[in-house]
Amino acid sequence: DAKTTQPNSMESNEEEPVHLPCNHSTISGTDYIHWYRQLPSQGPEYVIHGLTSNVNNRMASLAIAEDRKSSTLILHRATLRDAAVYYCILRDGNTGFQKLVFGTGTRLLVSP
Amino acid sequence: NAGVTQTPKFRVLKTGQSMTLLCAQDMNHEYMYWYRQDPGMGLRLIHYSVGEGTTAKGEVPDGYNVSRLKKQNFLLGLESAAPSQTSVYFCASTWTANYGYTFGSGTRLTVV
The reported pLDDT for the residue numbered B40 is: 78
- Compare A92 and B60 and report the one with higher pLDDT: B60
Average pLDDT over residues A69-97: 88
Considering only alpha carbons, which residue of chain B is nearest residue A87?
B42
CA distances from A65 to A27, A52, A73 (A): 12, 8, 12
Point out the residue among B42, B44, B97 whose CB comes nearest to the CB of A98.
Answer: B97
Q: How distant is the Cα of B82 from the closest Cα of chain A, in angstroms?
A: 23
Average pLDDT over residues A70-83: 96
pLDDT band at A1 (very low <50, low <70, confident <90, very high): low
CB contact under 8 A, B42 and A34: no
CB contact under 8 A, A93 and B98: yes
A42 contacts in chain B (CB < 8 Å): 105-106
Say if residue A73's pLDDT is above 60: yes
Q: Render pLDDT for A87-98 as a digit per residue (tens, 0 to 9).
A: 999 887 666 566
Q: Render pLDDT for A5-54 as a digit per residue (tens, 0 to 9).
A: 999 999 999 999 999 999 999 888 888 899 999 998 899 999 999 999 99
Closest CA to B55 of B64, B47, B44: B47
Contact, A86 vs A95, CB < 8 A? no
Residues with Cβ within 8 Å of B102's Cβ and at least 6 positions away in sequence, in order, are A46, B3, B4, B25, B27, B29, B92, B93, B94
CB contact under 8 A, A44 and B103: yes
Q: Render pLDDT for B1-35 as a digit per residue (tens, 0 to 9).
A: 569 999 999 999 999 999 999 999 999 999 999 99
Instruction: Identify the sign of the CA torsion A25, A31, A33, A34.
Output: negative
Q: How distant is the Cα of B74 from the closest Cα of chain A, in angstroms?
A: 16
State which amino acid sits at residue A33.
I
A100 contacts in chain B (CB < 8 Å): 33, 43, 45, 92, 101
Closest CA to B91 of A87, A43, A37, A35: A43
Identify the contact set of chain A against chain B, taking CB-CB distances under 8 A: 32, 34, 36, 42-46, 49, 87, 91-105
The residues pairing with A63 across neighbouring beta strands, listed in sequence order, are: A72
The residues pairing with A61 across neighbouring beta strands, listed in sequence order, are: A56, A74
The reported pLDDT for the residue numbered A104 is: 82
Contact, B36 vs B88, CB < 8 A? yes
DSSP A60-97: -EEEE-TTSSEEEEEESS--GGG-EEEEEEEEETTSSS
